[in-house]
Structure 1
Amino acid sequence: MAGTRRVRSRFQPSTAGLYVLLLVLAMLFAGPIGWLLLAALKSREEWASIPARILPEHAQWDNFSRALTDINFAAYTANSLFLSTMYALLVTATSALVGFGFARLRGRGKHALFLVVLSTMMLPQILTLLPTYVLFARIGLVNTYWPWVLWGLGASPYLVFLFRQFFAAIPRELEDAAIMDGCGWARIFGRIFLPLSWPALITSFLLSFTWTWGDFIAPALLLDVDHTTLSVAITSWYRDPRGNAIPTVQAAGAALYTIPVLLIFLFAQRYFIRSVVASGIKG
């Protein structure tokens, strides 16, 4: 008993230190959200005051109502939801297929090809954006959602890696038993691997949805006013009659803009953690 007490007392300080560290990190990560909410409740004078006021004297809740009415908030939200959901579904499906092939199929040069796929992750997207715009402009796909359809059908290197690691951790006995029962690779993928990969599928959907939902450059470059997304609208069109930006209303719109992603993450966080753990089991 004395030994047990000594072991417990030995680990208590380290556990307390860990909780303190986690609390500090949580406050650092929550800081920008808190600053955004405080900015959304300030008046323009409080926003521009020097020295800056941390807390608003009177909460300006009408900033949120203006954020909803000064632009067609509902229409731009619908555009963003449609575009993000469509891309997330397509890229999740294609990345799962490619990851399955790299994890379970055998073929000459498979590992070299996988290294080529991974190497594309090191190429910044901003470098390819202008050539991509020229290409889409020449084939008449600007001001449409077809670029996101093609990007989704082309899979994502990071998600391919995620699915490859997840599928590689599944016991080969399941695959061998299915082959002995006469199943082809398509049935093995659809009836065995996909039902077991809900954590990876939900994680892939969450990540790809967030990428598209938070993207500003591609919609601003490729879409017109009627088809653009909420991120572009919030950044560009909260203006006063003189054409100056209204930062407090922008902050209120940005706060509303984060709600769908927060809700999706709160729902899917358990699957996200499972997928991250499982993807590191087997290389």
Structure 2
Amino acid sequence: MVFPRRTALYMLLVGLVVLFLSPFGWLLITAFKDASELRALPIHWWPHRPSLGNFQQALSFWPYLGYARNSLMLSTLYAVLATLASAWAGYGFARLEAPGKRVIFGVLLSTMMLPHIITLVPTYLLFAKIGLLNTYMPWVLWGLCGAPYLIFLFRQFFANMPKELEEAAIVDGCGQIRIFWRIFLPQSWPVIATSLILSFSWTWGDWIAPALLLDDDRTTLAVRLAKGYFTQHGEPLNNLVAAGTVMYVVPVLALFLIMQRGFVSGIATSGLK
């Protein structure tokens, strides 16, 4: 009875994988099609003459690599700062004692239930008043403040670490900052990998904040790609859109493949205590 049940489970998982990957598969197929094939009826599933020309045109149609550089810089900057700030805050909530710590941590978690759309107008007015529009400083400030979910992950991970490590370090004369940098942070690589992947993908895929705070010349690839590719007569070039979107997804996939072991381990080891 075990074999049929396991086979059915595998078939279900394979079916779900095919279902989840089918949109990306169709996007990839479209990226290799000629513009005339997209307008032809009936619809052909496979391109007659697959070519890499769409990817070359997508790169040269407008400064694709320039916008990709902006996205990469912003995403990396925010990911690094948010990871470090969240790790430090998580360490404080997990290992240090202070009046009202539980209440502050509860308020921090409650902010995850606040829709991001509610803070858009106040955020824009605040950054406009202090002269930070069309700069990358908002992402620096957001990164230095950490992220509630990442703080939660680090807090849960640090809370489960043996207390003997901290006591031995204190006996050796280490302060809290040195304990954090020398002992706790090097041991938290699974959560660091999880934090880097999540924070990088959040910024890389964000469209609203760059569109609201940055001008066209300093905006990100997500904003520019959303405007699409058009001919001089205003006709959309969907094959170039597909090619540009495929290249847009590659950095996030590459980051996940490199850090997937740490990502899975970080999610598994940061559960509730």
TM-score normalised by the shorter chain: which range applies?
over 0.9
Question: Unpaired segments of 5 or more residues in structure 1?
Answer: 1-9
| 1:31 corresponds to which of 22, 25, 28 | 22
After superposition, where does 1:19-98 map in structure 2 within 5 Å?
A: 19-49=10-40, 52-98=43-89
Provide the C-alpha distance between the structure 2 equivalents of 1:214 and 1:164, rounded to a whole number of angstroms.
26
Provide the C-alpha distance between the structure 1 equivalents of 2:76 and 2:239, rounded to a whole number of angstroms.
29
Equivalent residue number for residue 215 of structure 1: 206
Question: Unpaired segments of 5 or more residues in structure 2?
Answer: none
Provide the C-alpha distance between the structure 1 equivalents of 2:256 and 2:228, rounded to a whole number of angstroms.
28
Q: How many residue pairs end up in the alignment?
A: 273
Question: Deviation of residue 43 (structure 1)?
Answer: 2.9
Question: Deviation of residue 47 (structure 1)?
Answer: 2.6
| 2:204 maps to 1:204 | no
Equivalent residue number for residue 219 of structure 2: 228
Q: Which amino acid aligns with 1:117?
A: L
Q: Deviations over 1:42-77 (max 9, x none)?
A: 233433455543223332532111101001111111
Equivalent residue number for residue 181 of structure 2: 190
Provide the C-alpha distance between the structure 2 equivalents of 1:172 and 1:188, rounded to a whole number of angstroms.
12
After superposition, where does 1:101-116 map in structure 2 within 5 Å?
A: 101-116=92-107
Provide the C-alpha distance between the structure 1 equivalents of 2:235 and 2:104, rounded to a whole number of angstroms.
51
Provide the C-alpha distance between the structure 2 equivalents of 1:132 and 1:49, rounded to a whole number of angstroms.
47
Equivalent residue number for residue 3 of structure 1: none
Equivalent residue number for residue 160 of structure 2: 169
Q: Which amino acid aligns with 2:186?
A: P
Q: Deviations over 1:104-145 (max 9, x none)?
A: 111221111111000000111111112111111111111110
Q: Secondary structure at the match of 1:226?
A: coil
Contact 1:42 1:56 in 2 (8 A): yes
Deviates more, 1:14-23 or 1:227-236: 14-23
Provide the C-alpha distance between the structure 2 equivalents of 1:276 and 1:18, rounded to a whole number of angstroms.
23
| 2:251 maps to 1:241 | no
Task: Quote the RMSD (CA, aligned, Å).
Answer: 1.5
Deviates more, 1:269-278 or 1:15-24: 15-24
| 2:2 maps to 1:11 | yes
Q: Secondary structure at the match of 1:258?
A: helix
Q: Which amino acid aligns with 1:245?
A: P
Equivalent residue number for residue 262 of structure 1: 253
Equivalent residue number for residue 146 of structure 2: 155
Q: Which amino acid aligns with 1:193?
A: F
Contact 1:238 1:245 in 2 (8 A): yes
